[in-house]
Amino acid sequence: MDFLYTASFINSAWIGSTFLLGFAFKKVNLPPMLGFLLAGFVMNALGMTGGSLALDRIADLGITLLLFIIGLKLNIKGMLKPEIWGGATVHAMLTIVFLGGCMLLGATFGLTHLVGLDLAQAALIGFALSFSSTVFAVKFLEEKGEMNSIHGRTAIGILIMQDLMAVLFLTISKGEFPSLWALGLPLFLLAVRPALMYVVDHSGHGELLPLGGLFIALTIGTASFSLVGLKPDLGALIIGVLVGSHKRTYELSASLYTFKDLFLVGFFFQIGLTGIPELSHVIIALGLVALMGMKSFCYFMILTRFHLRARTSLIATLSLSNYSEFGLLVAAIAYKNHWLSADWILIMALALSFSFLLAAPLNSRANSLYDRFGKILRRFETQKEHKDDAQIDLDGAEILIFGMDAFGTMAYDTTRERQGDKVLAVEQDKAKIKAHRAAGRRVISGDATDYDFWRKIKLEQIKIIMLTMSHQQANLLALEAIKSAGFTGPVTAASRFEDERLELEAAGATAAYNIFAEAGAGYADHVCKATGLVCKTEFIVSGDAIPDMPSYS
């Protein structure tokens, strides 16, 4: 049976268990990442930890690409908002004091692994636990199509501020400061920016485009920062910001998504392989998860004090209600410097895993939680409204189109040509709103998945709703919100795949359309008109019917 523990067999077991458990979690409507975590613990329990796959490098690549893609979409001006820098700073101070105090209190009661902790060690543990996981939050926000919503932008902004704090800690913990060459790094990046824009512009649409993205993120971004003694991941984020204004940013990030998601599987799986915990480690980790409730409450209270609505604050809070992979890094550095015992690496790994297991279902049910407790949560709102949460004026519109990507824009232009100013578009992305308004389109800021959006408009004046968002989950959540608001008119939705079209209709869409079938039918119709072909019947693309083929006249 020795072959069971050969590196090649263990590699197969790793991949097999990760896929099967991830698939199983998906089938019961839970995030696959929980399956990846569980797979790591299972392999650890079975002693299958000696595979030859470089999981640490795979995980590092996943995080690097994640930060690069965030950089591509990051709005620097948004980082200057008080709820971002102020919220991150105040929350860090409050949680360090609270969690550090809890460590000292536990030490006075003689709890295992807490006995003997001094003030500096307790503060260090509180600091490590004050961070939230960028990987977790972005994965959930992406899956729900909420990266550009106000709660998504707020959560990501706070996470980036925490990353900057992490850079400062890593610099201090090393006992050495960045090289003097770091002062010239901004000049270097600005100098190479035109060349990087040229690379993106001329990489085509095939394999060179994602390879070009890897080149920019790794060769230019992380390598340049690492050479001058700065955190490599920060380099990926900054270089993403520098090229983020390119017109092909969306295509570049889309080409990297599969690589990023695949590499991040290694990150979640690796957590379970950290070590074999004892019962005492598990008890302390569960206690830390219980304390996370106060960490979440601090997030919610801080965000509402910055005049964000209860719904926005709640969903942003749920995205941040977890512990961070940075806690593992802090524990490892602290152990290396003899500041903490090795036990804290295991405790942090368990606390991180348990927080993911708790936060995942809460994030999946965020809207239903707000529906249930919204009346209580709204009591925490301030009288002053955040400018992004003001009342919505539809300016006489009767048709609403949600999502202004390429397909939504075409739908808007065609509908407005036929219906005039009765049509109004709703979009989350501020940059897209600005561009569309400059092109003469009527576009307002809003989130179709936001239950409060439907309560802030005159719903009775709306005749038709068209959902053209590119994320299937966002369309499904929007249908749920529309139904909850009591809208009884027709709601249409677009999808990219046939199974998604059927899912939208099952969720309550009056009609759902497969945009690729629609595009094919439209192309054939154009051919008929341009070449003299005569179509016997109109094309039917929203259902299962197969259209008649055109014939020559």
Q: Could you give the maximum distance between any two Cα atoms of the chain, in Å?
A: 92
Confidence class for position 388, pLDDT limits 50, 70, 90: low
Same domain, 366 and 505: no
Establish if 500 belongs to a structural domain. Answer: yes
Handedness of CA 316, 318, 323, 325 (dihedral sign): negative
Same domain, 461 and 324: no
| Statement: the pTM of the whole predicted model exceeds 0.75 | no
Q: For position 376, what pLDDT does the model report? A: 93
Tell whether the model's pLDDT for residue 140 goes beyond 90: no
Same domain, 436 and 537: yes
Establish if 471 belongs to a structural domain. Answer: yes
Are the C-beta atoms of residues 130 and 321 closer than 8 Å to each other? no
Same domain, 433 and 312: no
Of 300 and 469, the structure prediction assigns the larger pLDDT to 300
Of 430 and 411, the structure prediction assigns the larger pLDDT to 411
Same domain, 417 and 308: no
Confidence class for position 497, pLDDT limits 50, 70, 90: confident
Residue 134's identity, in one-letter code, is T
- Please tell me the least confidently modeled range out of 79-88, 297-306, 336-345, 537-546: 537-546
Give CA–CA dist 6/81, Å, rounded.
53
Give CA–CA dist 266/328, Å, rounded.
15
Confidence class for position 273, pLDDT limits 50, 70, 90: confident
* Residue 542's CATH number: 3.40.50.720
Same domain, 346 and 399: no
Helix residue ranges per DSSP H, 306-424: 310-320, 325-336, 343-364, 366-377, 406-419
Establish if 215 belongs to a structural domain. Answer: no
- Structural domain harbouring 111: 77-198+278-375
Q: What percent of the chain has pLDDT over 70?
A: 91
Establish if 465 belongs to a structural domain. Answer: yes
Same domain, 179 and 318: yes
Confidence class for position 153, pLDDT limits 50, 70, 90: confident
Same domain, 331 and 475: no
The residue out of 320, 350, 375 marking a domain boundary is: 375
- 247-269 pLDDT tens trace: 888 788 888 878 888 888 888 78
* Residue 99's CATH number: 1.20.1530.20
Per the DSSP assignment, residues forming a β-bridge with 445 are 427
Q: What is the mean pLDDT of the chain?
A: 84
The residue out of 349, 375, 401 marking a domain boundary is: 375
Residue 470 has what DSSP assignment?
A: S
Same domain, 342 and 488: no
Establish if 336 belongs to a structural domain. Answer: yes
Q: For position 541, what pLDDT does the model report? A: 42
Confidence class for position 42, pLDDT limits 50, 70, 90: confident
Are the C-beta atoms of residues 176 and 229 closer than 8 Å to each other? yes
Are the C-beta atoms of residues 349 and 412 closer than 8 Å to each other? no
Establish if 191 belongs to a structural domain. Answer: yes
Q: How many domains does the chain have?
A: 3
- 204-245 pLDDT tens trace: 888 899 999 999 999 899 999 888 888 788 888 889 989 988
Handedness of CA 523, 526, 531, 533 (dihedral sign): positive
Are the C-beta atoms of residues 37 and 353 closer than 8 Å to each other? yes
Same domain, 474 and 531: yes
Average pLDDT score over residue span 7-33:
86
- Give the chain's radius of gyration (CA, Å): 25
Establish if 40 belongs to a structural domain. Answer: no
Same domain, 318 and 400: no
- 536-550 pLDDT tens trace: 544 444 444 434 433
Question: What is the number of other CB atoms lying within 10 angstroms of the CB of residue 269?
Answer: 28
Angle between helices 82-108 and 279-305 (to 10 degrees): 150
Establish if 214 belongs to a structural domain. Answer: no
The residue out of 319, 345, 375 marking a domain boundary is: 375
- 70-89 pLDDT tens trace: 888 777 777 788 889 899 99
Same domain, 483 and 449: yes
Tell whether the model's pLDDT for residue 164 goes beyond 60: yes
